[in-house]
Structure 1
Amino acid sequence: MSADYTSLRRIGNEFAKQLAKQNDHDGAKAIQAILRKRGVPLQASGYAEALPRDAASRLPLLEEGQWPTTPIMLNGEPGATISQFIDDAKHIDLLSEKGVSARLGLLLYGPPGTGKSLLAGHVAASLGRPFYIARLDSLISSRLGETAKNIRGVFEYVPAKKAVLFLDEMDAIAKVRDDRHELGELKRVVNTVLQGLDSLTDDVVTIAATNHPHLLDPAIWRRFPYKAEISLPDRDVRESLWLHFLYEGQEARRDEATLLAQVSDGLNGADIENIGLAARRRAILSGAEPALAKILLAVSGSRSGSARLIGNDDLDAQAKRTLSSFLSDKGGINQAEIARIIGVSRQMVNKYLKEVQDG
């Protein structure tokens, strides 16, 4: 008996992707949940793909990621860069033939929670290529010389797979080489990364991500012809995120999504996803959809990277006072609309705002 677990996962991922395109997101997630079990019986029988491993810990240096089914929503400029990158990657043979090909290297940078890892998975799915993830912070070994060896192992493994290599947490080892506070070993590691990138042929797709672009060596930047800053979502993207994660794409809820987008400036995509899904979980478990006021209160107490989840209790006077001030100040919403949202009279809203103003 023979089995090829890696091929099975790739076929499963393709099937999940097709289901997602047909808006069968539950079916796509169910298939991915099965694939995430990593086929323990097959692995135990030795049929899983042999990934390069750290000599000391014996942990894999790479993991094969799944093509995502969650949609990616981007602000305008980075979206154009990504589209061009994908188009060039799809036609790399033609571009090479004409002598105008560029290294297929894309650097994604920006604050945490903005979807850089998700975007890398979408690029792999768009190209129909396997998706290998190397978390560079996990490649660092305490044994002298092992970190550079691990990095070489990653760069030697991927080219034969016609895959997308995703170098996550790039700043973990690609720091400025003239930083006197870093050990000589780390400086050698940066050179190993540079050598690895230089060893790749034009048809190898490499995507790197960092939350701290200022830490990257300038030589690392030069190895990535395509660069995209993935910033916090703008108002239009926030509206799309709320509509998708909270209201499951129901156009009838567009007004609520617009309001939430208006007051959630400064939150990242992961924050909006967390609040939206938390509200839907509460709806399932309680049998009643959380009031818009509760969701807005969660937004008012959230900061980028620290989303506040929906509470179970009804809004007390203090919560209504806080929410009235938040909607008036950040949302620019009139008192009549605030009264409708939190379920009190306009006179009470006016009282709340005066109390906040008076301290």
Structure 2
Amino acid sequence: MQVNQDDIVALIEAALDANYSDVRAASNRIAKSISSDDLECAKKIKSILRKKGVPLQSSGYIDSLPVDSKSRAPLLEETQWPVTPLVLNQESQNVFQTFLSDVINVDELISHGLSGRLNFLLSGPPGTGKSLVAGHIAAQLNRPLYTVRLDSVISSLLGDTAKNIRQIFDFIPKRNGVLFLDEVDAVAKLRDDRHELGELKRVVNTLIQGLDSLDDHAVVIAATNHSGLLDPAIWRRFPYKIDFSVPDLEMRKELWKHFLFVDGGEESMILMLAKISDGLSGGDIESLSLAVRRKSVLTKSDVNMASVVEATMNSALGNTATPEGGELSTFKKKKIATILYKSYGVAQVDLAKILSTSRQTISGYLRE
């Protein structure tokens, strides 16, 4: 397990200075550096940062984030870098890597007259990895990730909403951070929407002006579940785009490997789960996997594959079923065996492993 000595020194200095932001930044870098060797330790560090953030601030250091003038609520929050790996298809991976390369080499591009907005738009259903992409970009660039808090930005006084947006775009260049506008459709709707008030249209104009005010080094990432609601002028200001869909077969295999089969699993089992989870998001697969592993830990037993399969079959996009604990009924086992055998071509020997029974019993289920 390799930890950069500079990060350790930076962490100690920030702690002695009660510097909340630098403590988090150094801790995030340490968590990232050890995640490939010790994922559980990296997750513990992230968990501590989430729990201890408020006490750190109350100890005397106040991070000077912009705030709403009325409520005094922060308009941004600094978000930890993720330790969960990023699984993308080939097309999305290409856009991701191209964007990172352009950001890293922006000065060279500027010198050749090839500069442009470093704005990245992520669209698609919930649970497909949009926030994860934003976190990985910030981590790869070694920059803090500032996520806009829409509950603070959108004021009951619409004039204040525009002011809040201006504050955010004045703040970001000073910190060399990555600005993440999650659910951007809340403040970037079509300006020709007849149901919206004129003041809301001015909010969109303020957002556009804020994007245009940033220099060539600024990085802005926006995410939306409803891309059709965005004003065309917003689309034009985001030259890099990924439109997420549910993961394909190879991506689902990688997701099951990471979240369920931590210590490795049989390829046939991984492939079977990847097939039956067609239509589910990465977030759905993560939820199912962690739910089953929690039951395994609390019951001090191996992962119940029959329970995983049944819950996956009963899940839909954004609505996962809760895996059962203990032995499944004979009726449920027969149903699972029949579906897996007839619809997915799962071999009888694998069905016996999944349902913790004999091949002879499986043959009987299929004859019936």
Same fold (TM over 0.5): yes
What is the identity, as a one-letter code, of the residue corresponding to 2:321? R
8 Å Cα contact 1:92-1:203 kept in structure 2:
yes
Alignment partner of 1:129 out of 140, 143, 149: 143
Is the counterpart of residue 312 in structure 1 residue 320 in structure 2?
no
Is the counterpart of residue 20 in structure 1 residue 35 in structure 2?
yes
Alignment partner of 2:284 out of 242, 267, 271: 271
Is the counterpart of residue 89 in structure 1 residue 103 in structure 2?
yes
Shift of 1:122: 0.3
CA-based RMSD of the aligned residues comes to 1.7
Aligned counterpart, 2:362: 345
SS at match of 2:181: strand
Aligned counterpart, 1:220: 234
Shift of 1:289: 1.2
What is the identity, as a one-letter code, of the residue corresponding to 2:25? R
Work out the percentage of aligned pairs sharing the same amino acid. Answer: 50
Shift of 1:309: 2.3
8 Å Cα contact 1:114-1:269 kept in structure 2:
yes
8 Å Cα contact 2:18-2:59 kept in structure 1:
no
SS at match of 2:238: coil
Instruction: List runs of 5+ in structure 2 lacking aligned partners.
Output: 1-15
Shift of 1:41: 4.2
Alignment partner of 1:291 out of 301, 304, 324: 304
What is the identity, as a one-letter code, of the residue corresponding to 1:265? D
Q: How does 1:323-334 map to 2 (within 5 A)?
A: 323-328=336-341, 330-333=343-346
Aligned counterpart, 1:261: 274
8 Å Cα contact 1:108-1:227 kept in structure 2:
yes
Is the counterpart of residue 209 in structure 1 residue 223 in structure 2?
yes
8 Å Cα contact 1:274-1:309 kept in structure 2:
no
Shift of 1:45: 3.9
Q: How does 1:229-268 map to 2 (within 5 A)?
A: 229-250=243-264, 252-268=265-281
8 Å Cα contact 2:123-2:225 kept in structure 1:
yes
Shift of 1:240: 0.6
Residues 194-235 of structure 1 show CA distances to partners (whole Å, capped at 9, x for unaligned) of 011001111000000001111101100000010111211110
Residues 45-96 of structure 1 show CA distances to partners (whole Å, capped at 9, x for unaligned) of 4413111112232211100001111101011111100000001101111111
Aligned counterpart, 1:357: none
Distance in 2 (alpha carbons) for counterparts of 1:281 and 1:158: 40
Q: Which moved more, 1:180-189 or 1:129-138?
A: 129-138
Shift of 1:313: 3.5
Aligned counterpart, 1:356: none
Shift of 1:138: 4.7
What is the identity, as a one-letter code, of the residue corresponding to 2:202? R
Aligned counterpart, 1:145: 159
Aligned counterpart, 1:355: none
SS at match of 1:107: strand
Aligned counterpart, 1:180: 194
SS at match of 1:37: helix
Aligned counterpart, 2:313: 300
8 Å Cα contact 1:300-1:326 kept in structure 2:
no
Aligned residues: 349
Distance in 2 (alpha carbons) for counterparts of 1:62 and 1:46: 20
Distance in 1 (alpha carbons) for counterparts of 2:325 and 2:228: 42
Q: How does 1:42-191 map to 2 (within 5 A)?
A: 42-136=56-150, 138-191=152-205
Instruction: List runs of 5+ in structure 1 lacking aligned partners.
Output: 352-359
Aligned counterpart, 1:5: 20
Q: Decide whether aligned partners of structure 1 residues 147 and 289 sit closer, same or farther in structure 2, where only a CA change above 3 A counts.
A: same
Q: Decide whether aligned partners of structure 1 residues 345 and 255 sit closer, same or farther in structure 2, where only a CA change above 3 A counts.
A: closer
Shift of 1:191: 0.5
Distance in 2 (alpha carbons) for counterparts of 1:81 and 1:271: 24
Aligned counterpart, 1:280: 293
What is the identity, as a one-letter code, of the residue corresponding to 1:116? K
